[in-house]
Amino acid sequence: MSISTAPSRFNSKLTSQCQNCSLSALCLPIALADEDINRLDQIIERKRPLKKGEILFHQGQAFDSVFAVRTGTLKTFNITASGEEQITGFYCPSELVGLSGIDNNSYPITAKALETTTVCEIPFSHLENLTSQIPSLKHQLFRVMSRKISDDQQMMVLLGKKNADEKVASFLLNLSNRFKKRGYSATSFRLAMSRGEVGNYLGLAVETVSRVMTRFQKNELIEVDGKEISIINLSEMQKLVGIADDCARIADI
């Protein structure tokens, strides 16, 4: 079982963990040869699970590693001048957190578990060394970072140009696509984050998020039961975010 809740910290096991991990098709190992996956596997530390609310790394802390989420969900945020928290992203299984720490050798954000979460720790200096031996891993890493840059730019479009309905619809479709990519239902899922966190992330007040969702439910676009969301009318939702061009993109992470 590649995703266990209490994996050993080191992995000198019979078989490669990455190789068996159901996420390897989405995570860094993508397009690596078996022997290369083993090499990657050897630098990865699998840590004990984080409980809800626990912190993976702090804003300002020295950077050594990037982390791949295996199970659960993380949020990243930074604390603004006025002391409020501004959420900059949510991370689902197979997604890589911490890349923004490379530049300055310290994390510019804090990463916190929204629920019980397991991660693979990838010491960056090892990873970087390994990219010298495995060009496709290097390319993969450039791609992951490039993707992050374009996703964040789509997020800037969302924050700068969209109204509350479009923001919430984009958010839900984005999650839907991420779940789908991982083999879960695209139309029925559970939000790991509170309404407040959604609002914070989207630049909206809690009350607005709540009202928009209620209205979406009335209009039979979605069905809401607490944190459980079902998308009833996918095509109408897509119309809302303007699926035509770039927004297809943001909904397709």
Partner DNA sequence: AGCAAGTTTTGATCTATATCATGAAGCCAC
Partner DNA sequence: GTGGCTTCATGATATAGATCAAAACTTGCT
Q: Which residues bind DNA (CB under 7 A)?
A: 163-165, 194-196, 203-211, 213-214, 224, 226-227
Q: Smallest gap, in angstroms, from Cβ of residue 170 to a copy of itself?
A: 11
Q: Which of 109, 113, 213, 251 binds a copy of itself (CB under 8 A)?
A: 109
CB-nearer residue toward DNA: 128 or 220: 220
- Dist. CA 213–CA 183, nearest whole Å: 25
* Token pair in block for residue 245: 């061009």
| Interface with a copy of itself (CB under 8 A), residue from 39, 126, 181, 249 | 249
Which is nearer to DNA, 85 or 246 (by Cβ)?
85
Interface residue with a copy of itself among 5, 8, 15, 104 (CB under 8 A) is 104
138 part of the interface to a copy of itself, by CB under 8 A = yes
Give the x/- contact pattern for a copy of itself in 172-211, rule: CB under 8 A.
----------------------------xxxx--------
Tell me if 108 contacts a copy of itself by CB under 8 A: yes
Residue from 149, 218, 225, 226 touching a copy of itself (CB under 8 A): that is 149
Residues binding a copy of itself (CB under 8 A) = 59, 78-82, 84, 86, 88-89, 99-104, 108-109, 128, 131-132, 135, 138-139, 141-150, 152-153, 155-157, 159-161, 200-203, 241-247, 249
